[in-house]
């Protein structure tokens, strides 16, 4: 199976942005991508057309509606909070085994390249006992770590790398998605991160829509050995 898990050093750093760019890259290379965003918080029927799930479906050329969003995002919660809290506010608890089973189901079609967008950062709790890290580990697929270029990102990034490595999760690449408030060009952040992670590919992504070449470069990370 060809699958990749897109995780991050935190929320709002660019997972959906990078996942969409990778989908475009796969399409440009003639592949057949599919995407899952199994858990989404801050979701409401009024704003669903701008949700992560809708962005991914649009990029795949599928029309977002409650049915198509329901298939790729079965766990949807209204409060814009971490999944454990958002579920608790709605009187629910996320069954992480069901989440893992849903993702594995998405990975079954070996003819497709499946991109799974996580939620928040690598150690966001899904419930009282499990975090995103347990979810990625169970899937046995590599991860892409999306990070920002804001002040403080280097420590967040190195901490996230350590967490992934502690579970032997292969990191196919780190993508530095330029933050709105960036004290230095992302290339400088890359240089600093590389001092500590020589064994990992690090790509930088400028603000704005990535061009075709960049999308292809990003998608090449999916099948990296
Ligand atoms: N390189 C970039 N250029 C321009 N805008 C960007 C870039 N990266 C992210 N953004 C914007 O920043 C915001 C957050 O990005 P995005 O939604 O991809 O983050 P996320 O990690 O998926 O967040 P969440 O944790 O909510 O899923 C979005 O409005 C997105 O369009
Ligand atoms: Mg997102």
For range 76-92, the mean pLDDT: 98
Q: Which atom of ligand 1 is nearest to the CA of 19?
A: 18
Cα distance between residue 221 and residue 225, in whole Å:
9
Residue among 77, 119, 144, 177 to mutate when testing ligand 1 (max atoms within 8 A of CB): 177
135 lines ligand 1 (CB under 6 A): no
Whether 14 is in the pocket of ligand 1, judged by its Cβ within 6 Å, is yes
Please indicate whether residue 37 is annotated as part of the active site: yes
Nearest CA to ligand 1 atom 16: 14
Cα atoms in the Cβ-side hemisphere of radius 13 Å centred on 109: 12
pTM of the model: 0.97
Topology adopted by domain 2-223 = Rossmann fold (3.40.50)
The closest residue, in CA terms, to atom 8 on ligand 1 is 14
The maximal CA–CA distance of the chain, rounded, in angstroms, is 46
Euclidean distance between CA atoms 15 and 8, whole angstroms: 7
Give residue-wise pLDDT tens across range 154-194: 999 999 999 999 999 999 999 999 999 999 999 999 999 99
pLDDT digits (tens, 9 = 90+) for 139-157: 999 999 999 999 999 999 9
| Substitution site in 6, 9, 11, 16 for ligand 1 pocket (most atoms within 8 Å of beta carbon) | 16
């Amino acid at each position: 199976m060809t699958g990749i898990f897109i995780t991050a050093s935190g929320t709002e750093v660019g997972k959906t942005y990078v996942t969409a760019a990778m989908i475009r890259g796969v399409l440009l290379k003639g592949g057949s991508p599919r995407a899952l965003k199994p858990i989404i918080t801050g979701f409401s029927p009024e704003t669903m057309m701008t949700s992560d799930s809708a962005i991914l479906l649009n990029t795949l050329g599928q029309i977002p509606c409650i049915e198509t969003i329901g298939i790729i995002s079965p766990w949807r919660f209204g409060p814009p909070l971490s999944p454990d809290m958002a579920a608790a506010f709605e009187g629910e608890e996320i069954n992480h085994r069901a989440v893992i089973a849903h993702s594995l189901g998405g990975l079954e079609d070996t003819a497709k390249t499946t991109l799974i967008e996580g939620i928040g950062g690598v150690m966001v709790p899904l419930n009282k006992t499990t975090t995103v890290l347990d979810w990625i580990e169970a899937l046995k697929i590599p991860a892409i770590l999306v990070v920002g270029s804001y002040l403080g990102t280097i420590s967040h990034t190195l901490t996230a790398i350590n967490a992934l490595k502690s579970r032997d999760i292969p990191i196919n690449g780190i993508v530095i998605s330029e933050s709105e408030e960036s004290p230095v060009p992302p290339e400088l952040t890359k240089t600093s991160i590389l001092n500590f992670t020589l064994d990992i590919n690090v790509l930088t992504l400028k603000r704005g829509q990535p061009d075709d070449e960049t999308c292809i470069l990003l998608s090449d990370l999916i099948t990296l050995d």
